[in-house]
Structure 1
Amino acid sequence: MDLVLNVADHYVLTPYVYPASWPEDGTLRQIISLLVLTNLGAAILYLGLGAISYFLVFDHKLMKHPHFLENQVQREIKYAMTSLPWISLPTVALFFAEVRGYSKLYDAVDESPLGWPGLFLSMISFLFFTDMCIYWIHRFLHHKLIYKFFHKPHHIWKIPTPFASHAFHPVDGFLQGLPYHIYPFFFPLHKVLYLGLYVFVNIWTISIHDGDYRVPSSLISVINGSAHHTDHHLFFDYNYGQYFTLWDRLGGSYRHPSALMGKGPHNLIRKLQAEGKLGDNGGKTKGSVMLKEE
């Protein structure tokens, strides 16, 4: 995060925002700057990537599904944008520790213990480490004593859109994002690679909520895609993983995606349309049922 902070200081904050009496390495200035940059960056990534996915990838026919809520997209965006500032508070504390040099982030490849191969290995270990941690955190959030307080709001979206990707309770959102932030405190990682992985994480989180259920046949049993995660929203106790199906298989929570067996949301929509229970515009007809809340 210090790379982003340095760029912001050089081009914007030092010449135009802060008085000359505030040194760039001052504690209060760094915390304020990180808070602003974290919130701004989170909003840009969420709204920008979410909009691209919503308009270019998301199948809008899914909005005809009986479990799709009234004004759902607006509600997803409102919930996410309300939660993100709260999530940023403990996140900034971790970013501040990074900026102050307490992490194992490094600037140059020659600082890597293994050189260039170390960059590739750190990328792979980042994915497997965070996938493992998120699986257990996510599963913990489904515990009956915890679920209703923190994770239930995210499961209101039975048929999620890309904008549901960040629509979490603040505690839920921070806990599921925590593995990404603690990784560089345990393992060496190049700063530029860390920023790239951070963007990738946001893209992936949006992609598993985008309603595009296509997965290469050779990867269906390995990769946790949108079809897998949609079943998590629909059936609750399955497919907790983030990128891979590994921990779901080890933990006995793997479910083969319904959408890939002809039993997914699109199939239900086509069935209801054939039965005359959905109008041409996706609205209800007499005798149909629309679920409003969980």
Structure 2
Amino acid sequence: MDLVLNVADYYFLTPYVYPATWPEDDIFRQTISLLVITNLGAYTLYFFFATLSYYFIYDHSLMKHPQFLKNQVYREIVYSVKALPLISLPTVSLFLLEVRGYSRLYDGIGEFPFGWFQLIVGILSFLFFTDMLIYWIHRGLHHRLLYKRLHKPHHTWKIPTPFASHAFHPVDGFVQSLPYHIYPFLFPLHKAVYLSLYILVNVWTINIHDGNGCKNEKLSNGEGKKTE
């Protein structure tokens, strides 16, 4: 995230927002900047890609399903808009640690002896590490002691649209994103690769709520077949 913060400081925040006497590496300034950048980025990714998916990929016939709720799209958006700032609070604390040099993120390929090979291994291990942990976290959230308190709100949308992709209880949303944030504190990864993977993860989250799972479930149940 320090790549984004550096660009924001250089082109906008330092010349136009903050006083010249406030150093860019001040922890309080970095916290404010990261809060703004994280929320703007989250809303931009959410609305841009969810809208594209909703209008160009999502099967709108699913909205006729009896379990599709009244005003559901509006409710999904409202829930997401309210949840994202709360999810960003603990997220920014981890971004702040990264920006201040506590992670194992690196700038150049030449910083490690195995160069490009290590970069490729890092991408594959990131995908394996995060997918594995999220699987077990998701299973844990379905435990009877946690489900009603944390995870049930996301399953309000039985027939989800792409706008349900970020409609989580804030704790649920942050916990399921945690593997992506803790990976660079445990293993080395290129900063640009980490930022790209983080963006792709958000796009993927929207993509898996595009309604295809619902269509496949209907077909497996024998719905939608022609009658003789």
Tell me how far 1:33 sits from its aligned partner.
Answer: 0.2
1:106-158 Cα offsets, whole Å, 9 max, x none, are 00111134210111111111111001110111111100011100100000011
1:2 maps onto 2:14 in alignment: no
- For residues 126 and 42 of structure 2, the distance between their equivalents in structure 1, rounded to whole angstroms, comes to 20
8 Å CA contact 1:106, 1:112 repeated in 2:
no
Tell me how far 1:82 sits from its aligned partner.
Answer: 0.1
TM-score (norm 1): 0.74
Higher RCO structure (Cα 8 Å, ≥6 apart):
2
| More helix per residue | 2
Match of 1:100? 100
- For residues 113 and 203 of structure 2, the distance between their equivalents in structure 1, rounded to whole angstroms, comes to 29
Other structure's SS at 1:177 match: helix
- For residues 217 and 114 of structure 2, the distance between their equivalents in structure 1, rounded to whole angstroms, comes to 43
Letter of the 2:217 counterpart: S
- For residues 112 and 84 of structure 1, the distance between their equivalents in structure 2, rounded to whole angstroms, comes to 36
- For residues 126 and 156 of structure 2, the distance between their equivalents in structure 1, rounded to whole angstroms, comes to 30
1:184 maps onto 2:184 in alignment: yes
CA RMSD of aligned residues (A): 1.6
- For residues 26 and 142 of structure 2, the distance between their equivalents in structure 1, rounded to whole angstroms, comes to 41
Tell me how far 1:258 sits from its aligned partner.
Answer: 3.2
8 Å CA contact 1:126, 1:183 repeated in 2:
yes
- For residues 7 and 132 of structure 2, the distance between their equivalents in structure 1, rounded to whole angstroms, comes to 33
1:53 maps onto 2:53 in alignment: yes
Structure 1 stretches of 4+ moved >6 Å: none
8 Å CA contact 1:76, 1:167 repeated in 2:
yes
- For residues 78 and 147 of structure 2, the distance between their equivalents in structure 1, rounded to whole angstroms, comes to 21
1:258 maps onto 2:217 in alignment: yes
- For residues 81 and 4 of structure 2, the distance between their equivalents in structure 1, rounded to whole angstroms, comes to 22
Match of 1:208? 208
Gaps of 5+ in 1: 214-226, 232-256, 275-294
Gaps of 5+ in 2: none
Match of 1:137? 137
1:15-40 Cα offsets, whole Å, 9 max, x none, are 10001111100011000000000001
Matches within 5 A, 1:276-291: none
Which is greater in Rg? 1
- For residues 133 and 112 of structure 1, the distance between their equivalents in structure 2, rounded to whole angstroms, comes to 26
Residues paired across the two proteins, number: 227
